[in-house]
Amino acid sequence: MRDRTQPSESAPWYRRQGYAGNLTESEMQELDRFRSMDRHPATQFDELSEEAQAYIARLEVECYDLKQQELASYAFAGTALGIALVLTHHLGVPKLSTFWAWVIGISLVVVSWLLYRRKWNANAREFSAADDGLIQEWEIKYTSRKRKDP
């Protein structure tokens, strides 16, 4: 089953819905022509030296780990708060022992892990896009140089 949030074909960075840059349509079409070529003029990840590949891979993994760690922290905090609310209901703590404390507590646990799963999947899709990043940097640099030297 395909994830509904994932597009069937990935659009280039300058054609995505949230893009707020200042590229003109003719510049976008020129970049589209580069992307339609058999081989894009940007350096490919495989063409980099082993040291550069290892460095980029290490940076990607560190970034990915930090994002995942932050997501897990939020999920565990929501779970802890939810369990605390359920326990107040279970132990009969005065003024907190209501049915709504139990409902909110269970909801916090469930929602925390549903959000964690959704954001984890989005982060996993974003991971390992070294070639796309190199292409994007090349295209930005190319467009900037072209604007300076018409």
Domain contains 94:
yes
Whether 111 has a pLDDT exceeding 90, the answer reads: yes
User: In Å, how far are 5, 42, 86 from 122, measured between CA atoms?
Assistant: 9, 26, 30
Domain contains 13:
no
pLDDT of residue 30: 87
For residues 17 and 5, the answer to whether their CB atoms sit within 8 Å is no
pLDDT of residue 148: 78
Domain contains 61:
yes
Whether 102 has a pLDDT exceeding 90, the answer reads: no
Total domains, the chain: 1
Read off the pLDDT band of 129 (50, 70, 90): low
> Whole-number mean pLDDT of the chain?
81
pLDDT of residue 78: 94
pLDDT of residue 6: 45
Per DSSP, helices labelled H in the chain are 25-36, 50-91, 99-126, 130-148
Domain contains 111:
yes
pLDDT of residue 131: 60
Domain that holds residue 107: 43-143
pLDDT of residue 140: 80
Tokens 């991971």 -> residue? 127
Domain contains 11:
no
3-state secondary structure (DSSP) of residue 126 = helix
- Model-level pTM? 0.54
Domain contains 5:
no
Domain contains 88:
yes
Domain contains 71:
yes
